Amino acid sequence: MIYLFYSFFRPKISLFGILLFFGLPSIITGQKQVLKSAEYFFDKQEYVTALNYFDTYDKIDKDKKALVQKGICEYQVGKFSECIASMKKAFDQKSTDNAMFLYTAMSYQALQNYKDAAIFYKNYLSNIKSNSSESDEVIKKIEQCQYAQNILFSDKVGFVENLGSNVNSKYNEINPVFSPTQVNKLYFSSDRNLSTGGLQKEKETGMDRYMYDVYSVENYQTELSILKKLPTRINTSRTEHIQSISKDGLVIFYDRELEDHSTAILTDTFSTNQDSMSLTYEFHSPIIYDLGDRDIFPINDSLYLFSSMREGGYGGYDIYSVERKEGTWGQPKNLGDRINTAFDDRFPFMTNGGHEIYYSSNSLNSLGGYDIFSSSFSKDGWAVPRNLALPVNTYGNEGGFRISADGTFAIFSSDRAEGSGGNDLYILYFKEQVLDQFEIPDFAWLNIEEETSEVGKSLPESSESVVAKKRQFFNKPLYYKTDIDVLGPQNLTKLKLVTDMLKIYPDHFVKLIGHATDAKKSDYDLYFSIKRTEEVAKYLSSHGLKSDKIQIEACGSSFPAVYSSKVESSDVADKLNNRIDMDIIVPENSPLQVQNETIEISPQIRNPKFDEYLHSEKGLSYRIYFASSEQLYKDEITKHPDGVCVLKPYDKTRYDYILGRYDTYKTAKKAYNKLSSTQYPNAKILVFIDGIEIKDEEVIKHVEKHTDLENYLLYEIGK
């Protein structure tokens, strides 16, 4: 019987023995390896992979340390309810890890349960050192929860969608910037695995990561999106963050980490082609990265917003403006305590009209992290900033807010866990269109800011001084590639602003000056330039402007902005040289202050003839009239090195041909004497002040200010 009993049970005993002596150690070893792998990926902050291992660890419910780590992973991947459950299990296992309270609080905050979030933040606070930077941060979180509870049910500004996998990746996508010249095109920076420099070790953390590069994406709202990485002239093996693009689309602003780990702010005469390195140069301005300056936003060619940690602010990052007048930079000015706080205020964006500012702040009035705020300017100064609230802002960080040209939607970045990973780009569809995108630019806040830039100073109670200040109008050229572009959508928007402004100020007028890329046929360049300029004049006239308020001029290729021969790609030369300048001429004591855009050009490719042209449009200059024609004027003189332009009197059908732009009467007379009296019998020296011809009978009025006119009076009028 004993034998039978033994015989009956022997196979089972043998199987158990096999499991005991062979299988069980293997299972135990396997589970240890699972936990070891989970902890390895947890330490590397690869939370998705770590969580997969924690989920297969069968002793997780009894391992209080692993439960806390698992909960942290769940928070990081957006599983907030699961995080709360894991932390409760860790607490039940007598864990004393204070991270339980912190991540439970953050999870409740993400779930918009601000009441319970505040309770767990207080539990966490009770276990850390008081009067420390960490305790200050937790107190701030508690106050943010109280604020969030109050605005939880506020009106929504619109609805938000993730831009999707055609744009976003498991890496970070940040700093979205709209293309100013192409609808449905967007630029951004990303540290995805397409990085030019590949995987590199981060100096601060010692962890491997990809460097940020600049990308573009076309048709980003459709399945037909086209993603491209910008050329290696811009993207290098180091990190590059796009900052902005100038309003005309000609200059890109970005920062680059250098070999010594310092960072420089660079600009590039923008082209997506692989042009020469000479197109990239350092942005020389008061905006300096090493002073803590970030987030450049060009309002126009001469006025910039940026954020900075520089001394003299209200605390953390503040938003500043800096202006350039006649080529000279002013001092950066703080926007004041209505916008800036004791916390970090960053990523400024201003609407085209200059009346609304959007920015990110991690102040007490945020839902957690950085939130997007807006403020509008009126006669009473900047309004109290408004939190855009849900669904724009979340428990996470929202930044890089940019509004589309038509004011119907915006793009921004957010690290909310519901995304693809890291920071994703999101689109906000406004319920109400942002109409200030279409307003005539008016930067009256500059005048207020001058009185409030001193730290601690508040806005004036009275707005009388603001009302008395001049209204500002920012004016920029019309750019074209082909004749169709002259009255294309981008230029029509600019022309509408000019038309509306001149209707408000009927005693002002506009001067149109056409330019073209050198086509080696100067006579044709001049003729087609004046014809294009006439098309613009006809448009303005057909939209209500009187013909005598429109002056027409064309220079063809006489005064190019850049050397075509020094640019490997003709795209850059065409962008800068093919344009029609619009100068607004204002009478004395005008209530309007006009800022004409100046073009950012690398010194290596800048043509001195362009500076000669700009100089002659200010102050006194002399020019020589030599011929008139109603058709194409063919003559070798159109190739004259002093440059030839065409004037079109508004009430005439003829074109007047003018030679040179001379600073003094002496140099003009010298050029005049070289002309053949038989070939050009009607040649005559003309006087121009600020680009406007002065008739002989009016010259005497300007002698006191421009004494060189005495020579003109003596030898031309008095002869």
Shared domain check, 263 and 133: no
Beta bridge partners of 357: 350, 375
CATH number at 619 reads: 3.30.1330.60
Please report which confidence band the pLDDT of residue 368 belongs to, taking 50, 70 and 90 as the band edges: confident
pLDDT for the residue 11: 39
Q: Which of helix, strand or coil describes residue 238?
A: coil
Q: Which residues contact 511 (CB under 8 A, 6 or more apart)?
A: 551, 553, 582, 583, 584, 585, 691, 692
Please report which confidence band the pLDDT of residue 453 belongs to, taking 50, 70 and 90 as the band edges: very low
Shared domain check, 471 and 460: no
Q: Is residue 5 in some structural domain?
A: no
pLDDT at 448 over 80: no
Shared domain check, 620 and 700: yes
Nearest in space to 475 (alpha carbons), one of 577, 594, 611: 594
Overall number of domains in the chain: 3
The letter for the amino acid at 210 is: Y
Half-sphere exposure of 375 (CA within 13 A, CB side): 21
Q: CA dihedral in degrees (208, 211, 212, 216; nearest 10)?
A: -110
pLDDT at 14 over 60: no
End position of a domain, from candidates 464, 493, 509: 464
Shared domain check, 557 and 446: no
Stated pTM of the model? 0.61
The mean pLDDT of 77-101, rounded to a whole number, is 94
Shared domain check, 483 and 437: no
Highest-confidence segment of 133-142, 466-475, 592-601? 133-142
pLDDT digits (tens, 9 = 90+) for 626-678: 999 988 899 999 999 999 999 998 778 899 999 999 999 999 999 999 998 88
User: 561: how many CB neighbours lie within 10 A of its CB?
Assistant: 25
Pairing of strands 509-515, 550-556: parallel
Beta bridge partners of 399: 413
Q: What share of the chain is helix, strand, coil (3-state, %, to 5)?
A: 35, 25, 40
Nearest in space to 252 (alpha carbons), one of 223, 281, 275: 281
Residue of higher predicted confidence among 554 and 472: 554
Shared domain check, 455 and 472: no
The secondary structure of 46-80, three-state, reads CHHHHHHHHHCCCCHHHCHHHHHHHHHHHHHCCCH
Beta bridge partners of 174: 189
Q: Is residue 9 in some structural domain?
A: no
Shared domain check, 474 and 356: no
Please report which confidence band the pLDDT of residue 571 belongs to, taking 50, 70 and 90 as the band edges: low
Q: Is residue 2 in some structural domain?
A: no
Shared domain check, 576 and 604: yes
End position of a domain, from candidates 464, 479, 506: 464
Beta bridge partners of 382: 377
User: 274-288, 313-327, 501-515, 606-620 — which is least confidently predicted?
Assistant: 274-288
pLDDT for the residue 544: 85
CATH number at 145 reads: 1.25.40.10
Shared domain check, 498 and 599: yes
The percentage of residues in the chain with a pLDDT greater than 90, rounded to a whole number, is 50
Please report which confidence band the pLDDT of residue 624 belongs to, taking 50, 70 and 90 as the band edges: very high
Please report which confidence band the pLDDT of residue 697 belongs to, taking 50, 70 and 90 as the band edges: very high
Tokens 């209505």 sit on residue: 338
Q: Which residues contact 482 (CB under 8 A, 6 or more apart)?
A: none
Please report which confidence band the pLDDT of residue 598 belongs to, taking 50, 70 and 90 as the band edges: low
pLDDT at 466 over 90: no
Shared domain check, 446 and 483: no
Q: Is residue 10 in some structural domain?
A: no
User: 188-197, 214-223, 270-279 — which is least confidently predicted?
Assistant: 270-279
End position of a domain, from candidates 96, 121, 151: 151
CATH number at 437 reads: 2.120.10.30
Q: Is residue 65 in some structural domain?
A: yes
pLDDT digits (tens, 9 = 90+) for 389-443: 999 999 889 999 999 988 999 999 999 888 888 899 999 999 999 999 988 888 8
pLDDT at 10 over 50: no
Tokens of 640: 């004259």
The mean pLDDT of 8-32, rounded to a whole number, is 48
pLDDT for the residue 130: 81
Nearest in space to 83 (alpha carbons), one of 70, 96, 92: 70
pLDDT for the residue 132: 80
**Orientation of helix 133-151 relative to helix 99-110, angle to 10°:** 20
Q: Is residue 14 in some structural domain?
A: no
The mean pLDDT of 310-323, rounded to a whole number, is 92
The percentage of residues in the chain with a pLDDT greater than 70, rounded to a whole number, is 88
pLDDT for the residue 554: 95
Bond prior to 385 in cis (omega within 30° of 0): no
Shared domain check, 484 and 412: no
pLDDT digits (tens, 9 = 90+) for 129-182: 887 888 888 988 998 898 888 888 888 899 999 999 889 998 999 999 999 888
Tokens of 578: 């093919």
Q: Is residue 562 in some structural domain?
A: yes
Shared domain check, 543 and 532: yes
Q: Is residue 495 in some structural domain?
A: yes
pLDDT for the residue 566: 60
**Domain extent for 99:** 19-151
